[in-house]
Amino acid sequence: MNVLHPDQLREQRTNPSVLKVALAKLRERHRCRIVVVIEGKDDLPIYENWFGRIRENYEWEPLVAKGKKLALEFRDLLKRDRTGLAVCTYFIVDHDYDALRGRDSGDDVFVVPAYSVENFLVEDRVLESYLRTELRVIADPAKRDFIVGLYRRARDEFIELVKPACEILYGARNEKVGNIRVGDVGVALFLENGEIVVRRGGWVDRLVSSDLPVSEEGIVRAQLFFESRELLLWIRGKFMLDFFRSFCEVLYSDRVSEEPKIFDAPISDRALSAASLDLRNLVPKARIPEGLSDALHRWERNCAESCTS
């Protein structure tokens, strides 16, 4: 019996042909079902919710790749395929800072108009909904507005701290800088004089590093990019989501405190849980990315035409 080496098993899992086999098996049963290839399993509940809000009972089947690189390589593979597997098969990828990595766009792919889907989970409207439904700030819009103001100021402070790290990520796109290492934010927030502020420290310098430095020209290109963008959507999404969760955890701790400083009184509902910051609970409160609805309806039309021709 042939036994595969662990490296061979790992290579199989990251090979686009594995996705092709999975798609072929699916097509045996659902020839004309819309299949959407997404980057990872964490994205699945996000798109499941957004698709359902765009069209109730939208019929689709997800195919989960292990990252953007594999998703795009699978798209390349399907473009060369002559068996018809590409029919009714579509792709969604995060923009990051490299979009399709030099590949042509097309009707078969939707690029998220932000760094990643996580960026849509940290907008004011999500916080406002969290305040109403989880922290029970009901019939008090002034208090919600006050807390959203705290959030915006802390968020702006955080963005300024992490933007240099994102400039390195952006500037390194087309440069030979060797390995790029991205660390965890590990951001700590605390209450100080009625504000929620970001604790500064060495974590900022450890966020992004590379074997070789990004050129000065690369950093300038990055700075110009960020000057023309809404930073909330274009700072690395994982950084922003980690910050959002930390901010909400500060709110939660204050809400259940015996002597709250942000809220007017302690909450009596001790069943409240910080677990409400799970993605599945945040997504229904987030807005749907611009263009996604058009893409879904276009795929529906294209699939119907291709399968009847």
Single out the residue of 210, 240, 223 nearest to residue 115, CA to CA.
240
Tokens describing residue 172: 């390194």
pTM: 0.91
* pLDDT, tens only, 22-76: 999 999 988 899 999 999 999 999 999 999 999 988 899 999 999 999 999 999 9
Instruction: Give the dihedral sign, CA 162/164/166/168.
Output: negative
195 by DSSP, 3-state: which?
Answer: strand
Q: Residue 200 — pLDDT band, cuts 50, 70, 90?
A: confident
Name the amino acid, one letter, at 309: S
pLDDT at position 275, please? Answer: 60
Long-range contacts of 253-259 (CB under 8 A, 24+ apart): 254/191, 255/135, 255/136
pLDDT at 273 over 70: no
pLDDT at 4 over 70: no
Average pLDDT over the chain, rounded to whole? Answer: 89
* pLDDT, tens only, 89-143: 999 999 999 999 999 999 999 999 999 999 999 999 999 999 998 888 999 999 9
Name the amino acid, one letter, at 103: R
Q: How far, in Å, CA of 76 to CA of 254, rounded?
A: 51
